[in-house]
Amino acid sequence: MDQHQRTYEVMYIVRPDLAEEEAERVISTVESGATAAGLSVKNVERMGKRRLAYKVRKFQDGLYVLLTVEGPGSAVAELERRLRVAEPVIKYITVRVDEEQKRLTKIKKIRDSKVRQRPQTAEAAAGSEPAPATA
């Protein structure tokens, strides 16, 4: 039983030829599908209509939606299955973001602590370099 709570971003593209309210309905069904799959929806961001970099199902542009969810991987697999089946969703991608988030906070921490040390390390690096270069 791995029931790790992880954060994922699911970006999906809704076909562009739907009426606005229909598109909204699709978005809300995906959202409810996510909760039904056992994920807690953190955020839904409509990124608007964008031109696709290449044709997808003969569509040149699409309605991008970014869904941030939290839950176990098995639930994400279920959500992906739903997206695959959903007719108006033409493409989707799931990216796990919690590790990256962790990394970023870590880097920030290190950077904040390093601000004082930096001048020293820079000098040391400059001093040690010319020797191997000439030799």
Partner 1 sequence: MADEEKKAASTTGEATATPAAAETPAAPSPTPRPYGRGPGGPGGRRPGGPGGRPGGRGEGGPRKFFRRKKVCKFCVEKIDSINYKDVRLLQQFVAERGKIVPRRLTGVCTPHQRRLTAAIKQARNIALLPFAARY
Contact set with partner 1 (CB under 8 A): 11, 13, 50, 52-54, 56, 62, 66, 91-93, 95, 100, 104, 107-108, 111, 125, 129-130, 133
Which amino acid belongs to residue 3?
Q
Rounded to whole angstroms, what are the CA distances from 86 to 41, 72, 122? 19, 21, 55
Question: Which C-beta is closer to partner 1: that of 7 or that of 92?
Answer: 92
Cβ of residue 1: shortest distance to partner 1, in angstroms?
Answer: 29
Question: Which C-beta is closer to partner 1: that of 11 or that of 41?
Answer: 11
Strands 6-14 and 40-56: unpaired
Question: Which C-beta is closer to partner 1: that of 3 or that of 118?
Answer: 118
Which amino acid belongs to residue 70?
E
Cβ of residue 35: shortest distance to partner 1, in angstroms?
Answer: 23
Question: Distance between CA atoms of 89 and 15, rounded to whole angstroms?
Answer: 6
